[in-house]
Amino acid sequence: MSIVWLLSYDGGVRMAVIPQLKGRLITDDPGALDRRMRWVQVGLPVILFLIVLVYETMEHLVPTHFRHVNPNFFGEVGFFGILGPGVVAIILGWIGRQVGERQRAEAAVRQLNAELEAKVRERTRRLEDANRELARKNEELQTLDRLKDEFVTLVSHELLAPLTSINGGLEMMTEVMDELPPSHRDTIEIMRRESSRLTDLVRKILDVSTLEAGRFRIRAGPVALPPLLRKWVRHHQSKAPQCELWLDTASNLPFVLADEEYLAEIVHNLLDNAIKYSPGGGLIQVRAWLKDPNTVAVSVSDQGLGIPAQLQERIFEKFYRVDGRESKEVYGHGLGLYFARKVVEAHGGQISVDSEPGRGSTFTFTLPVATEMVNATEGSFD
């Protein structure tokens, strides 16, 4: 009767009986598994009953040639042959339900995995198609961007040549303006001013195109700041008599390592902006000082319109201009500060702004000190 005792044991021992049946019982079809478990649930108790019946018959009836029935015969047959197989049937039923549920769960998981794999394959295919389309569009955009740069460069060069001739002719006309009627003089002055403005815009576009094409080069050498700043302060003072320009440079200011041409353009842009955004005039201060042993700082301050705090970083973006009624009335193209930041960073410096609406702005940039009076060195910016 040990088989009944083993089958009534807990899971660990119970599973020792199941592996012999596993190959025949467990399939991928939960319906087939249920049918087989029902056969086992019915057949195994019957077999056990018959085994017990034969065993008890051989033990109690055969020795007496069936003439005398031992009372223990019915007790043992009832206990071991009916109660034991009944318990086995109950246990097998519970095992069958557990195995069936597990089988159905595994089938559901396999189905979900199959559906998930199909979805993943479909999403992967779509993603690959999207990536290929994105790569194609990106290549088209790069081609268009290159063509745009080439077109802008070509047009700018073509504009620059006649503008140079026009500016030269206008400068020659200014020499005899005293002989012309006032209305003619005014017209010539307007033409000269607008031509100069257009020339400045074309040059900036060329500079930005060169910068973005990776062909931007700086030829850095020792530059004396005071004479350069003094030159541009005087130049802008003559153009903007409504403003008072004031220059303050520290004594014994060391040379800076910079490209003098681009440095002059940065100073020109900052002074030009300070004048344009100070429509009511006011004081414009230019200062230069030794920030630390290796760095010189230059600042341009005005008392003009000012810039809101949330826009102070964006003004260095290409073509960005502050959106305001007063700002829109000021001529500009949004390239000066963008170019200034790129040039200053190419020199190893930084440029920043400190401003408050209605109280003016202060732009400050830094440059490295030229520690040795050496020959000009050439650098690049990509």
Q: Is the dihedral of CA 46, 50, 55, 59 positive or negative?
A: positive
38-42, 62-66, 226-230, 335-339 — most confident range: 226-230
What pLDDT, in 10s, does the model give residues 149-206? 666 666 666 776 777 777 777 777 777 777 778 777 788 778 877 777 777 777 777 7
pLDDT value for 62: 67
* pLDDT band per the 50, 70, 90 thresholds, residue 223: very high
Q: Give the residue, 15 or 149, on which the prediction is more confident.
A: 149
Residue 82's contacts (CB-CB under 8 Å, 6 or more residues apart) are 49
pLDDT at 7 over 70: no
CA angle centred on 168, ends 164 and 173, rounded to 5°: 145
Angle of helix 182-212 relative to helix 84-174, nearest 10 degrees, comes to: 140
pLDDT at 74 over 80: no
What pLDDT, in 10s, does the model give residues 340-371? 998 999 899 999 999 988 888 999 999 999 97
Q: What is the mean pLDDT of the chain?
A: 78
Element holding 289 (H helix, E strand): strand 282-292
* pLDDT band per the 50, 70, 90 thresholds, residue 251: confident
List the strands of the sheet with 377-381, edge to edge. 256-258, 216-223, 377-381
Q: Give the residue, 234 or 169, on which the prediction is more confident.
A: 234
Query: In sequence order, which ranges of the chain are alpha helices (DSSP H)?
Result: 2-7, 11-17, 19-25, 30-56, 71-76, 84-174, 182-212, 225-239, 260-276, 325-328, 336-346
Q: Which residues pair with 296 in a beta bridge?
A: 290, 367
Domain boundaries, the chain: 32-61+70-216, 221-368
Mean pLDDT throughout 62-82? 70
Radius of gyration of the chain (CA): 48
CA angle centred on 114, ends 109 and 119, rounded to 5°: 120
Contact of 195 with 163, CB cutoff 8 Å: yes
List the strands of the sheet with 351-356, edge to edge. 243-249, 282-292, 295-301, 360-368, 351-356
- As a whole number of angstroms, the distance between CA 225 and CA 249 comes to 9
- As a whole number of angstroms, the distance between CA 34 and CA 308 comes to 77
pLDDT at 13 over 60: no
What pLDDT, in 10s, does the model give residues 109-137? 989 999 999 999 999 999 999 999 999 99
- Of 149, 208, 144, the C-alpha closest to 381 is 208
pLDDT at 286 over 90: yes
- As a whole number of angstroms, the distance between CA 356 and CA 310 comes to 11
pTM of the model as a whole: 0.55
Mean pLDDT throughout 139-149? 77
- Looking at the domain covering 221-368, what would its CATH class be? alpha beta
- As a whole number of angstroms, the distance between CA 201 and CA 216 comes to 18
Q: Lowest-pLDDT range, 29-38, 183-192, 219-228?
A: 29-38
